[in-house]
């Protein structure tokens, strides 16, 4: 029986585990061809085999690997209908990537910004969609165009940098929606998903111990908004919307609506990754 997504190609980053893997399985069940992108080769290949997709390996600690990923994706697929920027996470200790950027900033913002920019020609051709995993933690963040690397602010176990990067995710999606006439864009908060998120942090480990690993919702529940936004052509709200779960117009910091700040973030990000 034909699936509702037959003939569609969906790229999901961070798909080797957690909500990304759950979403990959659900979208494959609807007939989509899934590009399973992950950092861990063994897990990525396992998920790809399970969903009948194609594995792609990339470590967001290196922007060259992101560029290579974009090249591999465009070589493999004549069309890309959906790009789901789901990779990223919380880094508990301040550090720098191979490119010299603060790791949370690169993993959660610069790398998906670069990948999206490089795949935009394919997405435009298909009238495609970009979906980015944000977080309610955006309310902990604050974007300073003169301190995007969080060098002048306390790191606070990574939470402030993480919240700021998720605020940047919402702003990036809204700016993308303003700039693109043929590509739609949405971001969403999945809820706290019971995965390996933040397990390097003591408070997360304690909470998982107290709840016997029951902290958070299932990966399938967390992936439901991604599946909905990837599979539903008309989601009923304008491009650029931020969803809290399946509900549009989630709560975000006031900066999320600052168009000048979002445009400045776009331009500075483009300079940092070498996009015109």
Query: Quick check: 173 and 242 in contact, CB under 8 A?
Result: yes
> Pick from 52, 84, 46, 108: which is nearest to 231 by CA?
84
What is d(CA 165, CA 85) in angstroms, rounded to the nearest whole number? 13
Query: Rounded to 5 degrees, what angle do the CA atoms 102, 107, 108 make?
Result: 105
What is d(CA 163, CA 177) in angstroms, rounded to the nearest whole number? 21
Across the strands, what pairs with 209? none
The alpha carbon torsion through 72, 31, 45, 100 (nearest 10 deg) reads: 50
Query: Quick check: 19 and 86 in contact, CB under 8 A?
Result: yes
Question: In 10 A of CB 167, how many CB atoms?
Answer: 26
Question: In 10 A of CB 93, how many CB atoms?
Answer: 10
First to last CA, the chain: 44
Active site residue 162: yes
What is d(CA 155, CA 141) in angstroms, rounded to the nearest whole number? 11
Residue among 60, 162, 186, 242 flagged as catalytic: 162
Looking at the annotation, which residues are catalytic?
Answer: 162
């Amino acid at each position: 029986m034909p699936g509702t997504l037959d003939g569609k190609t969906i790229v999901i980053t961070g798909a080797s585990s957690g909500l990304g893997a759950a979403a990959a399985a659900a979208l494959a069940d609807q007939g989509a061809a899934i590009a399973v992108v992950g950092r861990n080769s063994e897990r990525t290949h396992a998920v790809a085999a399970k969903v009948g997709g194609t594995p792609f390996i990339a470590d967001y600690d290196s922007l060259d690997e992101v560029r290579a990923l974009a090249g591999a994706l465009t070589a493999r697929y004549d069309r890309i209908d959906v790009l789901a920027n789901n990779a990223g996470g919380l880094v508990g200790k301040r550090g720098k990537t191979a490119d010299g950027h603060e790791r949370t900033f690169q993993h959660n913002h610069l790398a998906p910004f670069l990948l999206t920019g490089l795949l935009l020609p394919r997405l435009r051709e298909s009238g495609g969609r970009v979906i980015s995993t944000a977080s309610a933690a955006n309310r902990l963040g604050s974007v300073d165009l003169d301190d995007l690397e969080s060098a002048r602010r306390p790191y606070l176990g990574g939470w402030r940098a993480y919240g700021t990067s998720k605020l940047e995710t919402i702003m990036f999606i809204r700016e993308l929606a303003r700039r693109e006439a043929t590509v739609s864009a949405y971001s969403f908060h999945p809820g706290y998903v019971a995965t390996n998120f933040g397990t390097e942090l003591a408070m997360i480990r304690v909470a998982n111990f107290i709840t016997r690993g029951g902290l958070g919702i299932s990966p399938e529940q967390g992936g439901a908004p991604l599946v909905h936004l990837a599979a539903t052509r008309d989601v009923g709200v304008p491009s650029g919307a931020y969803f809290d779960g399946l509900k549009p117009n989630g709560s975000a910091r006031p900066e999320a609506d600052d168009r000048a700040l979002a445009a400045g973030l776009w331009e500075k990000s483009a300079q940092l990754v070498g996009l015109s």
